[in-house]
Structure formats: C-alpha cells, structure tokens
Amino acid sequence: MGIKFRLTVLSFFQFFVWGAWLITIGTYCLNAKGWSFPQFGAIFSTMAISSLFMPAIAGIIADKWINAERLYGVLQILYGLILLYVPRVNDPDTLFYVILAAMICYMPTISLSNAIAYTILKRNGYDVVKAFPPIRVWGTIGFIVAMWTTNLSGSKANADQFIIGAVAALLLGVFAFTLPKCPPAKSISKDAGIIEQLGLNAFKLFGNYKMALFFLFSMLLGAALQLTNMYGDSFLSGFGSNPAYQDSFVVKYSTIILSISQMSETLFILTIPFFLKKFGIKQVMLMSMFAWVFRFGLFAFGDPSFAGTVMIIVSCIVYGMAFDFFNISGSLFVETTTDSSIRSSAQGVFMMMTNGVGAYLGSVVSGYVIGKFFINTDGSSNWHGIWLTFALYALIVGILFSILFKHKHVPGQEIVINH
C-alpha cells in the first residue's frame, strides 16, 4: 500500500467520523428529542470549547514527547468509545458533557492529521503544497459519504448516526498505528527554559507582527466558519411553515442540498496549488473572505422558488472557496513559516484560533444578536436580516485584512515568507 494512498485513507476517515453526525445532530436534538435551541446551541458549542485548548496541547505533546501517529490513534479510539455511549443519553445537560468529551478527543486530531501528512510526505521527498491538497480532498469526500450514509440509512433523526461515526473512528484509530513513525522533532535539553520544557514555544509566534495578525484574522474568520452548519438546515427547513413551500425539494431534502457545499470543497481544494502560485497567500485568503460575503448574501435572498433555489445552490458552491481557501492555505502558511521543532503545536495554535476562539465567539455572539435583533413578533426568525448581517461582517473582515496584512508575493512561488 503506497504512502500517498495510506494518507488518503487517513484523510477520508478523519472527516467521515465527524460528518456522520455533525450536520444532523440538530435534527436529532431538536426534532427527535424535542430539546430547545439554547440547549442545542450549548451542545454544538462543545466543538469550539475543546478547540480552545486541545489542539495546542496535543500539538505540544506530539512535538515533545509522543509519536504523532500514536497520539492520533489513541485519541480516535477514545473518541469512538465515547460516541458509542451517546445512545444511552436522554437529557441535554448530560449530552453536553458527553459530546464535550468526544470533542476533546476529536478536535486535536484534525491538526494532528495535517502534521502527520506533512511529516510523512516531506520525508518521502514530496512537495507538500502540491501533494497535500489532492490527499486532503478525500477528507471532504469522506464527510460527504458520511452525510449520505446517515441519511440513506434512516439515521438522521436517531442515535444510529453516532454509532456510524464510532465504528469508523475505532477502525481509524487502529489503522493509525500502522502508519510510518512520526517521532517528536527533537528532544528537550536539560538546560531548556520553562517555556521550551512545557512546549509553549509556538505561542511565541504571537510576538511576530505578521503571525499575530494572521492568527487574529484566523479568529475573526473562524467566527463565520460554522454559522451555516449551525443554522443552515434550520433555515431551509423553516420554509416548510409556508404552505406554498412545505412540499418543495428544498424543504424535503435540505441536508442533501447542503451537502453540495462539501462537494464544492472537493473541487476547490484541488485548485489551491494553482491559486497560491498565481496570486499568493494574501490574495487567496482575501478570496476566501469575500466568498463568505457571497455565501451569506445569496442565502439572504434564497428561498424554495426556482430563482431562490438557484441562489441557495450557488451559495453552496461558493462555500467551497470560502472554507477551503482559508483553512487549507492557512494551514500551509503555518507549515511554511514555522520551525520544524514547533510545527505540530503551531498547527494546534492555528486550529485553536479558528475552530476554538473564533468558532466559540461566532456561536455565542451570533446567538445573542439573532435573539436580540432578528426574532419577529410572531416568534419566527428574520433570516433575510440574519444572513445580510453575517455578509456585512465578512465584508468588514475582508477589507481590514486587505489593509493590515502586508505580504509580498513573487509570481511562480507558492508562498513567500517575509520575516
């Protein structure tokens, strides 16, 4: 089994084990269990809470003490075992802690899987900027396959979705132990200071203006990354309250329509090497930010009519650029700007700022803003105003990034670093 194929398998199941329930947990909690939106919001926020600290901690451990592939395997197995317990949970408060425990194990594996792939590819003489995106695209395919598996197996509104993810995670954890060894980059010197001994060197990156600015905007954009995952299905399903739309394709197959977003990811991931070489890291990130403007803006004017459905589908296609061009190129930016001795922990910091601090603020602030300003007198949600507000936020972030983030691009080079 070739090394690129083995990394492809790793990438596929990395996101399969998450996609089995991420998009449909709302249906499970709100429709099947009948829990409230605030209760569901708390459960969904566990992903952001765990990302505040676990990716960075796991990266430090992999950089200093334990082989990355072994740590990855242990975390996936623990994640799978916790998911197996979910069907036994019958109240939202308990599920909050169970999903939090699962996310503490799962979230760091995203950045660890990147670090493992980069290490193995570079050791085997591959250019990671060219070789990694075609491997990573299979992660998105895995997410799509998981979504369809959950829907077609009739598991969308029951706990079987968690069983699907659990079984795959257990198998993935075992598979990880068969990967080539990815030992810590270097041993800890006896004369090392407390910062190095604790593996906190990656946080020194905040002392570099460009890296600090990069992490700041990672946080600001991270606030937008999960908004459509949180509210997208509720938005589309909500049209069912309108008699003219209750039997429409959009309402009946809202999850399948949303999966177009992940399909789009598979295409845009493959274009990243071209765009990085042609335009440079700053322009690629700007494309992502302005793509979020269109993602939210098209949702604002979308509905189950023919024209409105086209807008929703186009929004899902745009999502591929919006999500990938920052997440993947941002990960590559960290990979090419940091020393090998702190690479795993630097990826963890990037993950912490996007899926941790950013996503948590996005969940909390968006919930507050919607509740304060966008609930109609009849109790319904003003989705038009909600999506336009999100679009305006992304536009402001993009404009500020274009002004403040200084980075020179030399045509023909993937990423040019100015320290």
Across 54-58, 105-109, 365-369, least confident range: 54-58
Is residue 191, in this structure, part of any structural domain at all? no
Q: Do 125 and 218 lie in a common domain? A: no
- Is 384 or 338 the better-scoring residue by pLDDT? 384
Q: Do 165 and 233 lie in a common domain? A: no
Cα 74 to Cα 91: distance, rounded to the nearest angstrom:
28
Confidence bin at 418 (pLDDT 50/70/90): very low
Q: Which among 274, 312, 276 is positioned nearest to 294, based on CA atoms?
A: 312
Cα 179 to Cα 352: distance, rounded to the nearest angstrom:
26
DSSP-assigned letter for residue 183: -
Q: Do 301 and 403 lie in a common domain? A: yes
- Is 202 or 293 the better-scoring residue by pLDDT? 293
Residues 227-254 have a mean pLDDT of 82
Is residue 195, in this structure, part of any structural domain at all? no
Is residue 197, in this structure, part of any structural domain at all? no
Q: Look at residue 246 in the predicted model and tell me its pLDDT.
A: 83
Is residue 186, in this structure, part of any structural domain at all? no
Report the length, in residues, of the chain.
Answer: 419
Residue ending a domain, among 151, 181, 211, is 181
Q: Which among 50, 39, 54, 51 is positioned nearest to 96, based on CA atoms?
A: 39
Quote the pTM value: 0.74
DSSP-assigned letter for residue 375: B
Q: Do 289 and 411 lie in a common domain? A: yes
Cα 137 to Cα 115: distance, rounded to the nearest angstrom:
16
Residue 279, amino acid: F
Q: Look at residue 409 in the predicted model and tell me its pLDDT.
A: 54
pLDDT single digits (tens) 273-326: 788 888 877 888 899 999 999 999 999 999 999 999 999 999 999 998 998 888
Q: Do 331 and 403 lie in a common domain? A: yes
Confidence bin at 408 (pLDDT 50/70/90): low
Residue ending a domain, among 150, 181, 212, is 181
Q: Look at residue 380 in the predicted model and tell me its pLDDT.
A: 77
Q: Which domain holds residue 371?
A: 203-419
Q: Do 281 and 411 lie in a common domain? A: yes
Cα-flanking dihedrals φ and ψ of residue 257, to 5°? -60, -45
Confidence bin at 198 (pLDDT 50/70/90): very low
Q: Does the structure show a pLDDT above 70 at 196?
A: no
Is residue 218, in this structure, part of any structural domain at all? yes
Rounded to a whole number of angstroms, the distance between the first and last alpha carbons of the chain is 40
Cα 373 to Cα 365: distance, rounded to the nearest angstrom:
12
Residue showing tokens 């090998």? 340
* Average confidence score pLDDT of the chain: 83
Number of domains in the chain: 2
Structure-block tokens of residue 296: 């939210």
Residue 389, amino acid: T
CB 23 within 8 A of CB 151: no
Across 60-64, 239-243, 246-250, 346-350, least confident range: 60-64
Is residue 194, in this structure, part of any structural domain at all? no
DSSP of 70-105? HHHHHHHHHHHHHHHHGGG--SHHHHHHHHHHHHHH
Confidence bin at 419 (pLDDT 50/70/90): very low
Q: Which residue stretches of 301-352 are H helix? A: 306-337, 343-351
Q: How many distinct helices (H) and strands (E) make up the chain? A: 19, 0
Cα 363 to Cα 223: distance, rounded to the nearest angstrom:
7
Q: Do 168 and 214 lie in a common domain? A: no
Is residue 189, in this structure, part of any structural domain at all? no
Q: Does the structure show a pLDDT above 80 at 335?
A: no
Across 114-118, 246-250, 261-265, 342-346, least confident range: 342-346
Is residue 335, in this structure, part of any structural domain at all? yes
Q: Do 38 and 153 lie in a common domain? A: yes
Q: Do 304 and 411 lie in a common domain? A: yes
Q: Do 106 and 225 lie in a common domain? A: no
Residues 28-48 have a mean pLDDT of 81
CB 128 within 8 A of CB 121: yes
Residue 198, amino acid: L
CATH code for the domain in which residue 91 is found: 1.20.1250.20
Query: Residue-wise over 11-46: b if at least 16 C-beta within 10 A, else e?
Result: bbbbbbbbbbbbbbbbbbbbeebebeeebbbbbbbb
Structure-block tokens of residue 66: 């334990």
Residue ending a domain, among 181, 213, 244, is 181
Residue 328, amino acid: I
Q: Do 317 and 222 lie in a common domain? A: yes
| Range of 114-118, 139-143, 272-276 with top mean pLDDT | 139-143
Q: Look at residue 67 in the predicted model and tell me its pLDDT.
A: 84
Q: Do 50 and 147 lie in a common domain? A: yes
CB 16 within 8 A of CB 167: no
| Range of 126-135, 257-266, 273-282 with top mean pLDDT | 257-266
Q: Does the structure show a pLDDT above 90 at 68?
A: no
| Range of 158-162, 377-381, 415-419 with top mean pLDDT | 158-162
Q: Does the structure show a pLDDT above 50 at 192?
A: no
Cα 26 to Cα 34: distance, rounded to the nearest angstrom:
10
pLDDT single digits (tens) 90-111: 999 999 999 999 999 998 898 8
Q: Look at residue 370 in the predicted model and tell me its pLDDT.
A: 82
Q: Which among 19, 66, 182, 53 is positioned nearest to 113, based on CA atoms?
A: 182
Cα 109 to Cα 78: distance, rounded to the nearest angstrom:
11
Residues 105-124 have a mean pLDDT of 86
